[in-house]
Every structure is written in structure tokens, then in C-alpha cells.
Amino acid sequence: MSTPAPPTLTVADYPLSTNRPELLRTPTGKPVTALTMDAVVSGELTAEDLRIAPETLELQAQLADASGRPQLAANFRRAAEMTAIPDAEVLSMYNALRPRASTAAQLTAMADRLETTYAAPVSAALVREAAEVYGRRRLLADDEAESPAQAATSPDAVTPALAADQTAADATTPGSPS
């Protein structure tokens, strides 16, 4: 997150992969043109090289703004912040936001961590807003029952997999043979 202010884009710059490839870099600083088969075979590239950089998400946010989609742009800006968070912690933060998974204090701590450790103020604001609404709608974990909120701190606390197109609804789907 160190480069100078990116250029302001218009919808004519889309798709960036064909119209503005010179603007695209990997999080490791490689130009997108370096992502070649030779580089894959030689072992030069790692999975980290195939991730999106926060600067690119900002470019896509500009394109979303330019095409009249402010909510999509806001999503990309939260995403830009979240590129810095390791996979396991992203998953555990998501789990901590589930209903009655965290106390107010735990959500506040998560928002603080987003803000201070990851410089993610927009995402932190979303978590603070959740804490406020959960408090009003009785969706916080009880302060005494600390255990469900382990998800907030344990990166391994991933819920069991369940296959369904619409998970909860499928459990009660009436039979509909064809």
C-alpha cells in the first residue's frame, strides 16, 4: 500500500487486463506480464503472485464508481483493506460476525484490530455497526458464555462443511423428483 495515488479511470479503461495492463501488479510487485508459463514452471511464481493487490482493487472501485455502482465500489475498498489479512484470520473474523458468536467487547476488539493492525478503517466501521445492531437486536453472545466467541481468536475455528445450494433451506426442502 505504498504506491503514489493511482490515475483516475473511466469505464473505457475496462477491462484493465487488456486495456491497461501496465497498471496491474501482483501484491509481490511483479507486473502482470510476468505471470507466464515459464515463470510457473521455473518455480519463480508462488500462489501469492496470483492474488489481487489492494491498488488494483482501488482501480476496480474507481470503475465501479464511474459506472454508477457506489455499493460495489465500497465493497472493493473494504476488500482492498482485507488483502492484508491472512486467509485463516479472514475466515475467523467472518465466523465471529455470525449471530451470537461474539460479545460486544469482542467485536469492538476485532474492529480495533482491523483499524490498528491492518489499517482497515472501512471494514472496522462495518464491524462496529454490526456490534451496535447486534446489541439492539439481542444477537450478541452472552458475556458469561465466552466459548462461542472462540471463533474470533482461533483461526482453526471453521464450521463443518455442508453441501447445499442454499444451505439452510435445503434441509427442509420438500421432495421434488423429476
Partner 1 sequence: MTAAAPRPAQQTRRSLRTETLEARPVNLDGFVEEWPEKGLVAMESDFDPQPSVRVEDGVITELDGRSRADFDFMDSFIADHAIDVATTEASMALPSVQIARMLIDPGVSRAEVIAVTRGLTPAKVLDVVKLMNVVEIMQGMQKMRARRTPANQAHSTSARDNPLQVAVDAAEGALRGFAELETTLGVVRYAPLVAIALQVGGQVGRGGVLTQCALEEATELELGMRGITAYAETISIYGTESVFVDGDDTPWSKTFLASAYASRGIKMRFTSGTGSEVQMGNAEGRSMLYLEIRCILMAKGAGVQGLQNGSISCIGVPGAVPGGIRAVAAENLVASMMDLECASGNDQSFSHSAMRRTARMLPQLLPGTDFVCSGYSAVPNSDNMFAGSNFDTDDYDDWNTIQRDLQVDGGLRHVREPEILAVRAKAARVLQALFEYLELPRITDDEVEAATYANSSNDYPFRDVLADLTGAQQVMDRGVTGLDLVRGLEATGFHDVAENLLTVLRQRVSGDLLQTAAVLTADFTPLSAINDANDYAGPGTGYRLQGERWEELKKLRHVTSATDPETEVD
Residues 10-49 that bind partner 1 (CB under 8 A): 11, 14-18, 21, 24, 26, 32, 35, 37, 40-41, 45-47, 49
Per rule CB under 8 A, is residue 146 in the interface with partner 1?
A: no
Q: How far apart are the C-alpha atoms of 77 and 56, rounded to whole Å?
A: 10
Residues 6+ apart with CB under 8 A from 163: none
The answer to whether residue 124 forms part of the interface with partner 1 (CB under 8 A) is no
Residues that bind partner 1 (rule: CB under 8 A) add up to a total of: 82
What does the CA dihedral 63, 27, 125, 139 come to, rounded to 10 degrees? 110
- The partner residues of 25 in beta bridges, in order of sequence, read 31
Q: Does 3 interact with partner 1 (rule: CB under 8 A)? A: no
70-114-91-142 Cα dihedral, nearest 10 degrees: -110
User: Which of 8, 104, 139, 150 contacts partner 1 by CB under 8 A?
Assistant: 139
Contact with partner 1 (CB under 8 A): which of 1, 105, 145, 164? 164
Pattern of binders to partner 1 over 101-120, x per CB under 8 A? --------------------
Closest approach of partner 1 to the CB of residue 14, in Å = 4
166 contacts partner 1 (rule: CB under 8 A): yes
| CA angle in degrees (0–180, nearest 5) for 32-75-70 | 105
In angstroms, the CA 82 to CA 120 distance is: 7
Distance (Å, rounded) from C-alpha 123 to C-alpha 164?
A: 29
Q: Single out the residue of 63, 62, 57 nearest to residue 80, CA to CA.
A: 57
Residue whose CB is less far from partner 1, 103 or 134: 134
What is the smallest separation between the CB atom of 56 and partner 1, expressed in angstroms?
5
- Binding map of partner 1 across residues 44-83, x = CB under 8 A, - = no contact: -xxx-xxxxx--xx-xx--xx--xxx-xxxxxx-xxxxxx
